[in-house]
Amino acid sequence: GEDVEQSLFLSVREGDSSVINCTYTDSSSTYLYWYKQEPGAGLQLLTYIFSNMDMKQDQRLTVLLNKKDKHLSLRIADTQTGDSAIYFCAESRNNAGNMLTFGGGTRLMVKP
């Protein structure tokens, strides 16, 4: 069945790069997503990547997709204290697109 896995916790120092990793199992996924959840808030879409792409860059964010290994990563350059949040990886289950499968979330803590 579908499964999306992430490590639970990551701690970095302000100014360093953060890399959050995710593995998924459904090779038919068309889109993969990164959502951010700040304390007490809902999820906010950060970025997404289409499955025929290897990389997508958007300002401080770089998404890398290794489709062969079913591995997705989110790199945040020059991490700031405002980046402290929970980051969720998600995949579309099929082209009908009504269902997303979410990972368990990675809590990023940025130390000053």
Partner 1 sequence: DVKVTQSSRYLVKRTGEKVFLECVQDMDHENMFWYRQDPGLGLRLIYFSYDVKMKEKGDIPEGYSVSREKKERFSLILESASTNQTSMYLCASRGQTLAKNIQYFGAGTRLSVL
User: Which one, of 69, 82, 70, lies nearest residue 18 by Cα?
Assistant: 82
Structure tokens at 100: 């997303």
What distance in Å separates the CA atoms of residue 25 and residue 7, rounded to the nearest whole number? 16
CB within 8 A of 31, min separation 6: which ones?
48, 49, 50, 51, 91, 92
Residue 17 binding partner 1, by CB under 8 A: no
Residue 88 binding partner 1, by CB under 8 A: yes
DSSP state of 68: T
Nearest distance from residue 12's CB to partner 1, in Å?
21
The residue from 44, 57, 66, 80 that contacts partner 1 (CB under 8 A) is 44
The residue from 57, 99, 109, 111 that contacts partner 1 (CB under 8 A) is 99
Nearest distance from residue 35's CB to partner 1, in Å?
8
Binding site for partner 1 (CB under 8 A): 4, 8, 31, 33, 35, 40-45, 48, 88, 92, 95-100, 102-105
